[in-house]
Chain A
Amino acid sequence: DIQMTQSPSSLSASVGDRVTITCRASQTISNYLNWYQQKPGKAPNLLIYAASSLQSGVPSRFSGSGSGTDFTLTVSSLQPEDFATYYCQQSYTTPWTFGQGTAVEF
């Protein structure tokens, strides 16, 4: 199985901060990398697909980059509603695997 490793596991930030989360795959996955946001008690919500494509309706302050094994999710200016947990996920091969999550906290 492909292992997905996110860093950091958690981070403290303030409104207006630029936040970057990294995700590393244990083998190359091309651009088969997606990012989801999850708030407590809610289902995950797709932010970025194919490493860098912004899902419709997602604010432009979210962006993704990378290819191969190393990927990043960036929030250019953190807003109050962005405090949540973020997961990367590879869809290169079954089983589709997720990173362990990054909690963005105050």
Chain B
Amino acid sequence: EVQLVESGGGLVQPGGSLRLSCAASGFTFSSYWMHWVRQAPGKGLVWVSRINTDGSTTSYADSVKGRFTISRDNAKNTLYLQMNSLRAEDTAVYYCSRKTAGTSPYYFDSWGQGTLVTVSS
């Protein structure tokens, strides 16, 4: 069974940093592109970042570019999101998600349960 379990969320002051983790199991982690998607309280889903299978290619939403860094450790089956210079508007539940492998069209076929990040003084 595919499982994605996020951790690392919490309360942080504006300007602070946090690192989220997403532990993957039940599939060959190194074969899949992985993404982070966030959802502010009471709002919709917003794509944040993605990383390819070996970590050599990454992309970011404009709203987090230069502040967030996505990475992965395929030996540990874990995806990360390093978040620096946090702002109040980064407050959200952060989901890791798996992009389906194979041919396009692509979609997110698995999601974690999410971890809440609250940026407040």
Interface residues of A (CB under 8 A from B): 30-34, 36, 38, 42-46, 49-51, 55, 87, 89, 91-92, 94-101
Contacts and interface: CB of A to CB of B under 8 A. Distances in A.
A98 B107 contact: no
B33 to A, nearest CB: 11
A98 B50 contact: no
B27 interface: no
B105 A32 contact: yes
Contacts of A95: 47, 59, 61-62
B107 A91 contact: yes
Given A43-B113, A94-B59, A34 B47 contact: no
Contacts of A101: 44-45
A46 B107 contact: yes
A44 B111 contact: yes
Contacts of A51: 105
B44 A34 contact: no
A95 B62 CA distance: 9
Nearest to A98: B45
Given A36-B108, A49-B100, A96-B50, 14 more contacts: A32-B105, A34-B108, A45-B111, A46-B107, A46-B108, A46-B109, A49-B109, A50-B107, A89-B45, A94-B50, A94-B59, A95-B59, A96-B35, A101-B45
B45 A87 contact: yes
Nearest to A35: B107
A12 B115 CA distance: 30
A44 B96 CA distance: 11
Contacts of B50: 94, 96
Nearest to A50: B105
